[in-house]
């Protein structure tokens, strides 16, 4: 046997780069007194009634596999939820699969549609998993860069310019990670025209749909002509504060779901039974809790945006999710330098914008899903840091 493992490892897997976020978490974890604005997860514990439903499920002995696409009762709740919240209709029996987080939904979506060399447009800055998952599915991720000039919204022209005869699909994420940008119905209508003109599929990551603060969220699948072209992804992690439960779902036309289900049944079999009982409870009885969390994030967003602008880090007001994406250009540092020096000097962890794509250079992502006290202290430290850098520039 050769001891040089590179010889054995798949070329595609080898070429995928590890997430740039990890490096900072590892460094932050080795230090004391760090305030982390780095992680992308709610600071709330899952509401008690949801936890209780999962406990009850175990007590009652629901320890078997479920149907491959998930409990029909849960798929029915998801179908009801999608219809009542976003006016999109999916048949519980053959248009929905319960997945291991939205993460697995992204994976099976790409693996079900891509042939080698097919191109997928990814609107950047973007969630770090999209491009690697496109590559692992044999496709080619094509970045479509957005800019802060229009609040990081992708324009129909930018999409049009990136399309080639190899383009198979576009991935859209609204509200976005890392920018928090939400696309309005009007934005989506214009984007949909380009998608339809070029006969593309759309993978729509709507995991932050519950966390919107201004205006109304619109699902891409609800836009005229998009239902048949959209693979809709969503999950329980963010809106319901259920990251550790690892539950998400995909809803799409029956023909696409059939292919995704083949991959899902061989790789996963089904999502965990007891967690699915928790998710049923989440969809039935947590409207009040979700609304309370949403209001709390909104308050924190307003505070963080205002303070960042005051301390000289220009920051647009994001419409959703729990991230802000301020410019750090006034400090004369690169994103990586800013994040690294801020961590070492002031013990505040943020994520350098360049890990979300080239257009993220010059920005950092700060999650405001942490307590108000921690946010106040973190911003105080950031102000001190920014002032020291500006003084050094003079």
Q: Which residues bind ligand PMP (CB under 6 A)?
A: 40, 101-103, 127, 173, 177, 205, 207, 235, 237, 243, 248
Cis bond upstream, residue 125 (ω within 30): yes
Between 74 and 386, whose beta carbon lies closer to ligand PMP?
74
Shortest CB 387 distance to ligand PMP, Å: 32
Between 240 and 338, whose beta carbon lies closer to ligand PMP?
240
Shortest CB 46 distance to ligand PMP, Å: 13
CA gap 383, 65 in Å, rounded: 52
Q: Which residues pair with 202 in a beta bridge?
A: 170, 230
Shortest CB 236 distance to ligand PMP, Å: 7
Shortest CB 102 distance to ligand PMP, Å: 4
Between 271 and 386, whose beta carbon lies closer to ligand PMP?
271
CA gap 191, 204 in Å, rounded: 12
CA gap 301, 351 in Å, rounded: 17
Shortest CB 205 distance to ligand PMP, Å: 5
Shortest CB 234 distance to ligand PMP, Å: 8
Between 53 and 351, whose beta carbon lies closer to ligand PMP?
351
The residues, ordered by sequence, that sit 6+ positions from 347 with a Cβ below 8 Å of its Cβ are 31, 33, 34, 35, 381
Between 322 and 338, whose beta carbon lies closer to ligand PMP?
322
- For 352-357, which contacts have Cβ atoms below 8 Å and span 24 or more sequence positions? 352/20, 352/24, 353/125, 353/178, 353/325, 354/20, 355/19, 355/20, 355/21, 355/128, 356/124, 356/125, 356/126, 356/127, 356/128, 356/177, 356/178, 357/122, 357/124, 357/125, 357/126, 357/131, 357/143, 357/145
Shortest CB 111 distance to ligand PMP, Å: 16
Nearest to 76 by CA among 101, 55, 93: 93
Between 205 and 281, whose beta carbon lies closer to ligand PMP?
205
Alpha carbon 151 to chain centroid, angstroms: 18
Is 262 within 8 Å of 236 (Cβ atoms)? no
Between 141 and 235, whose beta carbon lies closer to ligand PMP?
235
Nearest to 363 by CA among 158, 172, 131, 181: 181
Between 246 and 316, whose beta carbon lies closer to ligand PMP?
246
Shortest CB 337 distance to ligand PMP, Å: 25
Using CB positions, name the residue nearest to ligand PMP: 101
CA gap 343, 62 in Å, rounded: 45
Token pair listed for 169: 């699909």
Shortest CB 98 distance to ligand PMP, Å: 11
Between 123 and 194, whose beta carbon lies closer to ligand PMP?
123
CA gap 139, 110 in Å, rounded: 8
The residues, ordered by sequence, that sit 6+ positions from 39 with a Cβ below 8 Å of its Cβ are 25, 367, 369
């Amino acid at each position: 046997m050769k001891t040089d493992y590179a010889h054995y490892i798949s070329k595609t897997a080898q070429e995928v780069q590890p997430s740039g976020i990890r490096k900072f978490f590892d460094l932050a974890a080795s230090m004391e007194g760090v305030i982390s604005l780095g992680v992308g997860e709610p600071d709330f514990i899952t509401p008690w009634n949801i936890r209780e439903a999962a406990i009850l499920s175990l007590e009652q002995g629901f320890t078997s596999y479920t149907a491959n696409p998930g409990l029909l009762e849960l798929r029915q709740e998801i179908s009801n939820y999608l219809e009542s919240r976003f006016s999109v209709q999916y048949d519980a029996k053959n248009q929905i699969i319960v997945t291991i987080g939205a993460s697995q939904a992204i994976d099976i979506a790409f693996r079900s549609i891509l042939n080698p060399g097919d191109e997928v447009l990814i609107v950047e800055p973007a969630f770090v998993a999209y491009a690697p998952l496109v590559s692992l599915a044999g496709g080619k991720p094509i970045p479509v860069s957005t800019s802060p000039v229009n609040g990081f919204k992708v324009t129909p022209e930018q999409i049009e310019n990136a399309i080639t005869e190899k383009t198979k699909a576009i991935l859209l994420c609204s509200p976005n990670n890392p920018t928090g940008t939400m696309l309005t119905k009007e934005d989506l209508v214009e984007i949909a025209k380009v998608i339809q003109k070029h006969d593309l599929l759309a993978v729509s990551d709507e995991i932050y749909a519950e966390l919107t603060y201004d205006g109304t969220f619109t699902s891409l699948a609800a836009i005229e002509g998009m239902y048949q072209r959209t693979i809709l992804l969503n999950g329980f992690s963010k809106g319901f504060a259920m990251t550790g439960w690892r539950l998400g779902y995909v809803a799409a036309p029956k023909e696409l779901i059939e292919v995704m289900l083949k991959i899902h049944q061989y790789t996963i079999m089904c999502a965990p039974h007891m967690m699915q009982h928790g998710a049923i409870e989440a969809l039935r009885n947590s409207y009040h809790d979700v609304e309370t969390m949403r209001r709390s994030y909104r308050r924190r967003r307003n505070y963080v945006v205002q303070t960042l602008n005051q301390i000289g880090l220009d920051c647009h007001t994001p419409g959703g999710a729990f991230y802000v994406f301020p410019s750090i250009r006034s400090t004369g540092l690169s994103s990586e330098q800013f994040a690294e020096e801020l961590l070492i000097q002031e013990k505040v962890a943020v994520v350098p914008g360049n890990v979300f794509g080239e257009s993220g250079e010059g920005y950092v992502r700060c999650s405001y899903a942490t307590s108000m006290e921690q946010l106040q202290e973190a911003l105080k430290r950031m102000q001190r840091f920014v002032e020291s850098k500006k003084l050094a520039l003079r």
